[in-house]
Structure 1
Amino acid sequence: MTHVPDTLAEIRDEFLELDEADRLQLLLEYSRELPDVPERFRDHPELTERVAECQSPVFIVTEVGDDGRVAMHATAPVEAPTTRGFASILAQGITGLTAAEVLDIPGDYPQTLGLTRLVSPLRISGMTGMLARAQRQVGVITAS
């Protein structure tokens, strides 16, 4: 059974508490809060994975630390604020979770943010693609 971790549930609830007009503003705020990618990935894009579902060049990489906690890193262009906002939501919401918690996130989480009428289906599918790739990467790391 899938479960939305508290970090992502809080972000979802933050969106749903706002009226639709303010949700886009919140998404823009998230776009400005995308954490920087560690230098070891910044200079080595081959270590990251392109998210093909995104029209903009979005790259993600996940790590699982010795403590079993996941860190998700993402890059997205500043000129693509919607996509960058989605990447930021996932990076902030996933980082710090256990691998099992990440693998348990429902695949339709992006559709639960109350943004489906505000942004194009293509953008929502981009976020869905980011989540699926992060989960696959974590699955591969934890299986080895």
Structure 2
Amino acid sequence: MTSDLPESLAVIRDDFLALDQPDRLQLLLEFSGELPALPEHLKDHPDLLERVEECQSPVFIVVELEDDAAQTVRMHATAPREAPTTRGFASILVQGLSGLTADQVLEVPSDYPQMLGLNDAVSLLRIRGMGGMLARVKRQIALKRVAA
């Protein structure tokens, strides 16, 4: 099952699993600092982003599908700097999912957040929040494909 992960997500997973628990948490915090800013066309349109209710912190995401045969995914997210764990999870998904095809993203296992080996480092609630982000990404892709 994990061998079916797209390379971008497999590399991130492997980077986490190669570390001991304290260093995994440090890597998550590094991802937090790498969350890309929203592109210009979204900055003034918060109405285009969806709140991830599963997260305690105010996290908002949007998925765009490029107009190509593969429907390349571009994920965008915002999360407050005061919530570095949640922001780190958002960054992992933005970096790991953007550039994949819609089909590849839809096939990502729902338990990907548990594959990072962070269950002992962060609360189950935060792991569920990342799962909620992934579920909403998949739902947005499915809805956009129907509308296309």
Say yes or no: TM over 0.5: yes
CA offset at residue 120 of structure 1? 0.4
After superposition, residues 1-144 of structure 1 pair within 5 angstroms as 3-67=4-68, 68-144=71-147
Structure 2 residue runs of 5 or longer lacking an equivalent are: none
CA offset at residue 143 of structure 1? 1.9
CA offset at residue 69 of structure 1? 0.5
CA offset at residue 66 of structure 1? 1.2
Deviates further, 90-99 or 2-11: 2-11
Instruction: Give deviations 1:63-118, integer Å, cap 9, x for gaps.
Output: 00012210000000000000000000000000000000000000000000000111
Q: What SS class does the counterpart of residue 72 from structure 1 fall into? A: strand
**What TM-score, normalized by structure 2, do the two folds share?**
0.94
| Inter-partner Cα distance in structure 2 for 1:47 and 1:75 | 12
| Inter-partner Cα distance in structure 2 for 1:113 and 1:143 | 32
Deviates further, 2-11 or 14-23: 2-11
Instruction: Give deviations 1:14-72, integer Å, cap 9, x for gaps.
Output: 00000111000000000000011112212111100000000000000000001221000
| Inter-partner Cα distance in structure 2 for 1:78 and 1:31 | 8
Identical residues among aligned pairs (%)? 65
| Inter-partner Cα distance in structure 2 for 1:109 and 1:58 | 19
Q: What SS class does the counterpart of residue 61 from structure 1 fall into? A: strand
| Inter-partner Cα distance in structure 1 for 2:62 and 2:5 | 21
| Inter-partner Cα distance in structure 2 for 1:9 and 1:130 | 18
Aligned partner letter, 2:15? E
Aligned partner letter, 1:104? E
Deviates further, 4-13 or 36-45: 36-45
**What TM-score, normalized by structure 1, do the two folds share?**
0.97
Q: What SS class does the counterpart of residue 56 from structure 2 fall into? A: coil
Aligned residue pairs: how many?
144
Structure 1 residue runs of 5 or longer lacking an equivalent are: none
Aligned partner letter, 1:16? L
Q: Which stretches of structure 1, 4 residues or more, deviate above 4 A after TM superposition?
A: none
